[in-house]
Amino acid sequence: MKVSVIIPTHNSERTLEKALMSVVNQSDDCEFEIILCDDHSADFKWLKNIASIYGCMLIKTIGTGGPNFGRNLGMKYATGNVIAFLDHDDEWMPWKIKKQLEEIRNGAEFVYSPGITRKG
């Protein structure tokens, strides 16, 4: 199963790499496609470099529409069987996709998970 991970970005230099690592470190052995949808970041050169390092598709939005615009735009480019959203300043637990794909394989059409907030 292929999972398209859509990450809207804007000036995400401090947080994006941790978000990407949380995708790369998932415990399920499925195929991932990571789509970064940038909403006019100040340092686009840095973002292009990170996208290259992690093998991401990078889309620069036209106009400004915020994260929901980026998510919707990313879905147009997604080729996976499953679409997952991740904000550039969030991280996934290592078992997130594995547990969610188990539910999908068992017939679920839509799966979501609660957030976990940690201090520090």
pLDDT band at 120 (very low <50, low <70, confident <90, very high): low
> For the residues 17-21, what does the mean pLDDT come to?
97
The tens digit of pLDDT for each residue in 22-49 reads 999 999 889 999 999 999 899 999 999 9
CATH number of the domain bearing residue 38: 3.90.550.10
**How many domains would you assign to the chain?**
1
Question: Residues, the chain, total?
Answer: 120
Sign of CA dihedral 83, 72, 24, 117: negative
* pLDDT > 80? residue 105: yes
The answer as to whether 114 is a domain residue is: no
pLDDT of residue 56: 97
CA count, 13 A, side-chain hemisphere, 57: 18
- SS3 state of residue 14: coil
Look at residue 95 and tell me if it is in a domain.
Answer: yes
Which residue segment(s) compose the domain that 54 sits in?
2-105
Q: Residue 101 in 3-state DSSP? A: helix
**Which amino acid is residue 120, in one-letter code?**
G
Q: Does residue 113 lie in a domain region?
A: no
Tokens linked to 74: 């990313």
Any domain includes 118: no
- Please indicate, yes or no, whether the overall pTM of this predicted structure exceeds 0.75: yes
Q: Is residue 87 part of a domain?
A: yes
